[in-house]
Amino acid sequence: MSWIESLQKAIDYIEEHLLDEDFSVQRAAEAANSSVFHFQRTFAILTDMPVGEYIRGRRLTLAAQDLVCTDLKVIDLAYKYGYDTPEAFTKAFRRQHGMTPTEARNFSGKLKSYNRLVIQVSLKGAEQMQYAIVEKEAFQVAGIKKEFSLVNEENLAGIPKLWDEVNSNGTSGKLFKLNNGDIKGILGVCVDNRSQKPDSMDYWIAASFKGDEPDSFESMEVPASKWAVFEVHGAMPHAMQNTWKKIFSEWFPSSGYEHADAPELEVYTSVDASSPDYYSEIWIPVK
């Protein structure tokens, strides 16, 4: 359960330092002994919300309590909870609670509360997870690469847009034709950049490829690793999201494996992923 305990330590750090001026997601990730990328990804998978949304929700929940229980001025609350101006605070407060701080102080409506998270693992076992442990030598992929910032979860918004672009401009069809490597399909490859840029990641949409680097694409070598390869059955994106959640909430805590320092892969076997019989895979490096 050490992995779950590490994630809970990060959440505890967030709660203890929520109002610190030097608070950062980087420090919360360090409390979990994790990179920012893996912490953000795991948090979002398990909770169905980005870590930034949780932090904003918690701050505005505490701000609402202060409005009701204290005489602090709105301008003082704005600065206390990390907003540069009362106007920015009021806008965020209204977005969460559906009313202004003044209306909340006058008890003119219902407030929305984000409660402190406690990570709990459910080992159900009702549905079997089909997976294999695969040892694979280094292999080459070719495709397009884009760097995403991890600040404010820009990567979570940007990656789906990149897929929309690739599927609409014909790039996905070119990658399927290029695919002559051992892994069949188009790959979504998440590469943690923490050794070079702590607040960024690279995301590739690529194909397993043997040969010289194609003129129209970049190439990268995926290092040799041991992989847990999970079968995913069902239409996208729900089937993929559901499998990721089961991996982190059920499989990792009970398997004895840990995440290794290598890219993660999602394997899509055709362009049309809307069929209920669609087959895809998740490759996770493990140790």
For residues 251 and 234, give the distance between their C-alpha atoms in angstroms, rounded to a whole number. Answer: 19
Handedness of CA 46, 51, 54, 59 (dihedral sign): positive
For residues 47 and 230, give the distance between their C-alpha atoms in angstroms, rounded to a whole number. Answer: 21
C-alpha dihedral over 34, 40, 45, 51, to 10 degrees? Answer: 130
**pLDDT (tens digit per residue) in 93-140:** 999 999 999 998 887 778 888 888 877 665 555 556 789 999 999 999
**pLDDT (tens digit per residue) in 76-93:** 999 999 999 999 999 999
The residue-averaged pLDDT of 251-259 equals 84
The helix (run of H) or strand (run of E) holding residue 279 is strand 279-285
Question: What's the confidence (pLDDT) of residue 193?
Answer: 73
**pLDDT (tens digit per residue) in 131-185:** 999 999 999 999 999 998 877 777 878 888 999 999 999 999 999 999 999 999 9
Q: What is the DSSP string of 9-23?
A: HHHHHHHHTTT-TT-
* pTM score: 0.79
**pLDDT (tens digit per residue) in 38-48:** 888 888 888 88
pLDDT-derived band at 284 (thresholds 50, 70, 90) equals very high
